[in-house]
Amino acid sequence: MNDFYLLILTAIFINNIVLAQYLGNCPFLGTSKSMATSIGMGAAVIFVAVMATAITWVLQKYVLVALELEFVQTIVFILVIATLVQFVEIFLKKITPPLYDALGIFLPLITTNCAILGIAVICQRNAYEFLESIVFAAASGLGFWLALVILASIRERLETTHLPQAFRGTPIALVLAGLMSLAFFAFKGMGS
């Protein structure tokens, strides 16, 4: 059980998928302008990451390895992720149209979000068992969500302050992401 706690803490803080692994930066920077959008994107990423990891783990173990087709792993994983994102998109469009509209182009970008693919590949590379893979995917998604919400809260606060024109928008987001990455890097020593 302690291994699961360590896996969760490591995925959220020490090897945060965005701030330490540098995966998924496009939706991270693009949807961090408002708190509501970032919460919705974080939830969508957690759902897609867990579902994609579960499906790809089964496909890898029982199909790709069994048929000696490991070389098509990336293509299969991307197809699974694309299908799940379509499901999430349809669901959000019917259930919460305002969130669907707020996410805009960034929702389909989950399909090409390298964080989702990275989580699935990391599980295979580290030879995690099924339950470990699910826990790692959920914790990595939570780490993505945490970083996204922190950045969104800071960016919303910056909307009410005076910034030089050169720093408004994406430049300040990149500076903040770098500073957050340095802050999360302080957790690296805890993993030893």
Q: What is the mean pLDDT of residues 6-19?
A: 94
State residue 111's pLDDT score. Answer: 66
pLDDT (average), residues 57-68: 95
> What pLDDT does 191 receive?
55
User: What pLDDT does 112 receive?
Assistant: 63
CA distance 119 to 114: 8
Whole-prediction pTM:
0.89
Ramachandran quadrant class, 164 (left: phi over 0; alpha: psi -120 to 50; beta: rest):
beta
* pLDDT > 60? residue 141: yes
144-158 average pLDDT score: 94
User: Does residue 16 surpass a pLDDT of 90?
Assistant: yes
